[in-house]
Structure 1
């Protein structure tokens, strides 16, 4: 067999041999080959997890929540929404909404929120700004930071000190049935 100048060669039986023609003393991988340093488990990069913005119902509860939870729409602080909203159990406005609401149960306008349009609902709670026409079949609450401008039809009205209502106000007569 012709010897080629390599670190290892093979003998006629196919076994690996050292440069000097002797067989290696141990299994492949042992001997003069450099050894990798042991891995240390303590040196791992930290995983940064993003905190959830909304701290309401836990995610597990919302996925199998009640009927009301599944039809909740939240418009965040820096979001603008235009259009028509229907069949919504609860609308929470933290940003800006220009829309007409029908067949909805409740609207909550946060201090940072603005709603422009028409709303036919059962309950309205205004801490921000409402401009337009609101018909609250049960209750309208204007918080101390809230302003309502426009046409208001309501069965019951609560206005905290500092809250403002300007425009036309009509009280819906109580018919005695519980809606």
Structure 2
């Protein structure tokens, strides 16, 4: 059955606009599987979200707590990366934590790498590197392997170098504290 270009009440001028053609998968079963490679017009190109924290490992499990979301009274386990854009009140042990500028974390966390743009309040053990950006504020009992504080970043509480089980804590040739300027 042939379908005319005006089938969906499109005007001829619209057919002159660029369309992207995306081939459907040729292997597998289920929706979209086919033995040939048909194409279909798509109104806009596919959008791929950027990898948050691209400096870290690309694989692994990731939990994103979006803006205006409140996650309270939980223990977060088996999470490689936690991204906080809302409010999290929890206990966790993870590889990486990223707190966005509008995000806040209250509780206890043991992390390999933490990047704080927002607020952290509680017990924080960072085994490798703690980075506090200009908009970041960290308060509580803090242990770290190495520390970077951007100008404007805030750090207050019981602060000690040498996170438990830190492979870098024994390294005397690397500075424990560095200050980043603008």
Gapped runs of 5+ residues in structure 2?
11-41, 52-56, 164-168, 172-182
Relative distance call for 1:105 and 1:39 in structure 2 (3 A) is closer
Deviation, 1:68, is 5.3
Which is greater in Rg? 1
- Residue deviations 1:78-119, cap 9 Å, x none? 1111211011100000000000012x1010000010000000
Q: CA deviation at 1:155?
A: 1.0
2:76 to 82, 85, 105: 85
Alpha carbons of 1:55 and 1:41: their partners in 2 closer, same or farther (altered >3 Å)? same
**Using a 3 Å threshold, how does the CA distance of structure 1 residues 43 and 125 change in structure 2: closer, same or farther?**
same
Query: Judging changes above 3 Å, is the alpha-carbon distance between structure 1 residues 122 and 39 closer, same or farther for their aligned structure 2 residues?
Result: closer
Task: Give the structure 1 partner of residue 132 of structure 2.
Answer: 142
SS in 2 for 1:105: strand
Report how many residues are paired.
127
**TM-score between the two structures when normalised by the length of structure 1:** 0.63
Tell me which protein shows more strand as a share of its residues: 2
Q: TM-score, normalised by structure 2?
A: 0.62
List aligned pairs for 1:63-142, cutoff 5 A. Answer: 69-82=59-72, 83-102=74-93, 104-142=94-132
Match of 1:43 in 2: 9
State the shift of 1:42 in Å.
5.4
Decide whether the 8 Å contact of 1:68 with 1:89 is kept in 2: no
> Which residue pairs with 1:20 in the alignment?
none
Mapped to 2, the partners of 1:48 and 1:131 lie a distance apart of 46
Distance (whole Å) between structure 2 residues aligned to residue 40 and residue 90 of structure 1: 48
